[in-house]
A and B are shown apart, each in its own frame.
Chain A
Amino acid sequence: MSIKFLILISRQGKVRLTKWYTTTTQKTKSKITKDLTTLILSRRAKMCNIVEYQDMKIIYRRYASLFFVIGIDNDDNELMGLEIIHRYVEQMDKAYGKVSELDIIFGFEKAYYVLDELLLDGKVQESSKKEVLKRVLNQDDLEGSEEFDVLIN
């Protein structure tokens, strides 16, 4: 199970976060993002969460005003994809404390921290919720500490 990319799109069609796990040109990235934004926003809430696109499967899940979209290979398990999205959202919810779209906009670095602890090269690298949260909190502590100020200055 390897994820090719993860994109967060708002209901207004704005991209809030992207992560690409395969080498893709900027042009292709823009095309995929644009295509998927149009495709997913035009789907109703009760429609299937899995769509075929190019040579891959697109799995998306809507949480409040945000769509979490991932692309996986055709022979990968789509239910596993849905679970990974859900795990990511759950961990963000813990890391931020009731996460919302606004939290991700104004604290996007934390969303990337959580994602980087959860996924590496498109594969789940840490399945323990506690462990991911612990590492993200450690990074937060480091960022807020005086030592970090000294290091970057």
Chain B
Amino acid sequence: MIPNHVLILGCPKTGKIRIADWLSEDEKLENINAESHSGLILKTRLRTNYYSTDLNILIDEFPSERSNINTNDSLKFNELKLWYEEFKTVECKELRDVLDGLIFTVNLDSDSTDYISQSLSLISDLKDFMKSESDNDIFFIISAISEQKVPFEDVEDIAISNGLEFIYFNESGTNEFKEKVGKDRIKEILETHEWKNIDLGNDDYENHKMQKLDDMRTMLIESEDGSHQMDFTTVLDKLQIAKGKADSISDISEREKYAKTVIGEIIDYI
């Protein structure tokens, strides 16, 4: 089955691996390069009551080297702009075409509101660009983490004003309105996304039809033991009946025609 692709993008220490691990219950990322998390791919399978699909979770990071981990916000934003420019090039068209969703990650402890505001504006531009480029249905999520639980309403407002959905990854379960929040909401978005390639698992339906097929294949003339082969006496009986019928036909040409038909039928049975 052709897999679907989701890209997780963000600075170092913004929870990209945590999201990937959360989305794939069985598989875990191994052999993670300490230098950079760019280029990591986690292959997993998404299963719901209605369908299942293969999912490739791609991870990309800026800056591309982790040695610059403590860069200030303006440097981080410049790196993101470079990534954005590169992502918009013709060389990346193939990647853009296969993407079904993008999760942009931020860290509420280390990222300033200014940086988040600028970044989300850029991601919003990217969303518009990708939507104008193709009719593909792509989801965009802004995911945030922090060590301690912190207020995130300001960042959520920035995301909403940019037409993006904000999710605070530290949360899970449902809120007072019975809405899924946090990591559970990410899973919900993925489950309700209209993937290009899904396996509807219509096995039950097909099995049901296949069972019917056997009945339909049953020979109309069947012996008592279930076999549809004629024995010698049945053939003789049939010939005798045909002979009697042929005797009653006065016209010779009609009689020959009838005899040929009967012989043809018997040959078919044998």
- Residues of B with C-beta under 8 A to A102: 48-50, 191-192
Contacts of A63 in B (CB 8 A): 178
A42 touching B179, Cβ below 8 Å = no
CB of A10 within 8 Å of the partner chain: yes
Shortest beta-carbon distance from A27 to chain B in Å: 18
A12 with B139, Cβ < 8 A, contacts A102-B191, A102-B192 known:
yes
Say yes or no for A105: interface residue by CB 8 A criterion: yes
B178 to A64, Cβ gap below 8 A?
yes
What separation, in Å, do the CA atoms of A45 and B49 have in the docked complex?
Answer: 29
Known contacts A14-B137, A102-B50, A106-B50; A65 and B192 CB within 8 A of each other = yes
Q: How many Å lie between the Cα of A129 and that of B188 in the bound state?
A: 29
Residues of A within 8 A of B137 (CB): 14
Pick from A38, A42, A101: contact of B188, CB below 8 A. A101
A18-67 residues with Cβ-Cβ distance < 8 A to B are: 38, 41-42, 44-45, 62-65
Q: Is B223 an interface residue (CB 8 A)?
A: no
A99 to chain B, nearest CB (A): 12
CB distance from B253 to the nearest CB of A (A): 43
Tell me whether B160 is interfacial, beta carbon within 8 Å.
yes
The residues of A that contact B50 with a CB separation of less than 8 Å are: 102, 105-106
- The answer to whether A123 has its CB under 8 Å from any CB of chain B is no
CA distance A101 to B178 in the complex (A): 13
Given the interface contacts A12-B165, A42-B161, does A64 sit within 8 Å of B180 by beta carbon?
yes
Q: Is the CB of A101 within 8 A of B192?
A: yes
Q: In the assembled complex, which residues on chain B have CB atoms less than 8 Å from the CB atom of A41?
A: 160, 163
Mark each residue of chain B from 90 to 118: 1 if its CB lies under 8 Å from any CB of chain A, else 0: 00000000000000000000000000000
Given contacts A10-B192, A101-B192, contact A65 B163 (CB under 8 A): no
- Chain A residues, CB < 8 A from B232: none
A88 and B138 alpha carbons, distance in the complex (Å) = 29
**B180→A65 contact, CB < 8 A:** yes
Most buried by A among B48, B139, B188: B188
Residues of A within 8 A of B178 (CB): 63-64
Q: A10-B192, A101-B192, A102-B49 are in contact. Are A45 and B160 (CB under 8 A)?
A: no
Residue from A11, A13, A44, A45 with most neighbouring chain B CB atoms (10 Å): A11
* Chain B residues within an 8 Å CB radius of A101: 188, 192
B269 part of interface (Cβ distance < 8 Å): no
Chain A residues whose CB sits within 8 angstroms of the CB of B194 once the complex forms: 14, 105
Cβ contact within 8 Å between B161 and A12:
no
A42 vs B192: C-alpha distance in the bound complex, in angstroms? 20
**A38 vs B163: C-alpha distance in the bound complex, in angstroms?**
8
B192 contacts which chain A residues (CB < 8 A)?
A: 10, 12, 65, 101-102, 105
The interface residues of chain A lying within 8 Å CB-to-CB of B165 are 11-12
- Interfacial residues of chain B within 126-164, with CB under 8 A of chain A in the complex: 137, 139, 160-161, 163
Closest residue of chain B to A43, judged by CB? Answer: B160
Q: How far is the CA of A1 from the CA of B125 in the complex (A)?
A: 42
Chain A residues near B189 (CB-CB < 8 A): 11-12, 65
Say yes or no: A62 contacts B177, CB within 8 Å. yes
7 nearest CB pairs, A to B: A106-B50, A101-B192, A64-B179, A12-B139, A42-B160, A102-B192, A64-B178
A-B contact pairs, 17 of them (CB 8 A): A11-B189, A12-B165, A12-B189, A12-B192, A12-B193, A14-B194, A45-B179, A62-B177, A63-B178, A65-B179, A65-B188, A101-B192, A102-B48, A102-B192, A105-B50, A105-B192, A105-B194
Query: A residues within 8 Å of B by Cβ?
Result: 10-14, 38, 41-42, 44-45, 62-65, 101-102, 105-106
